[in-house]
Amino acid sequence: MPVPQLSITLSSTSESWRVGDLIQVGVEVRNISKAPVWAIGVLDGSESGFRYPHYLPLITGPKPLPATEEAPWCGNVAPLLLSDFRQLLPGEGFDPGKPAGDAVGLPLVAFQNFRPATPGHYQLSVIYDSSCESDREWLGMTGYPGEDRVLQQLTLVPRLLMRSNLLTLKVT
């Protein structure tokens, strides 16, 4: 079995919140290997599972939650660019939902807008999936200048399927 190269961790500024509070959730992807690793943050279509990498947020609570709204988009997605690749040195991490330089990093809307309406315990996690074997499922728009270099760079991104830690929050 291959040694994991990345981890994904959720955190919060508090373990206790009040009903209606906007919950602060941090997401970090970290290189846990002994060598540099390439990673890509949240792209348009990542949260919905439309394109890779997938960042799929999960929230469970005392009652079924209403469906979360995603960031509005029309089904067309921007091309994956070389600037979207981030090289992480051993021990280095990044928030995949925040841009850095020219790299895209879109917030996970399910976490960004999470305001629990019912008291109780909530569990949050995120599934990160880069296991797709077809590199074209990462591209978004195709046939753009530089696409060949992007496809070449994609061969350096580890193919993983992993779930974050389980973040448990108490809402009163």
Does this model's pTM top 0.85? My answer is yes
pLDDT at 158: 94
Vertex 114, ends 109 and 115: CA angle to 5°? 150
Is the predicted pLDDT of residue 48 greater than 60, yes or no? yes
pLDDT band at 65 (very low <50, low <70, confident <90, very high): confident
pLDDT band at 77 (very low <50, low <70, confident <90, very high): confident
pLDDT at 142: 84
Pairing of strands 167-171, 16-17: parallel
pLDDT band at 40 (very low <50, low <70, confident <90, very high): very high
The CA distance from 139 to 152, in Å, is: 12
pLDDT tens column, 107-124: 999 999 999 999 999 999
The CA distance from 139 to 77, in Å, is: 9
Instruction: Please enumerate in sequence order all residues whose Cβ is within 8 A of that of 45, keeping only pairs 6 or more positions apart, or say none.
Output: 51, 73, 77, 140
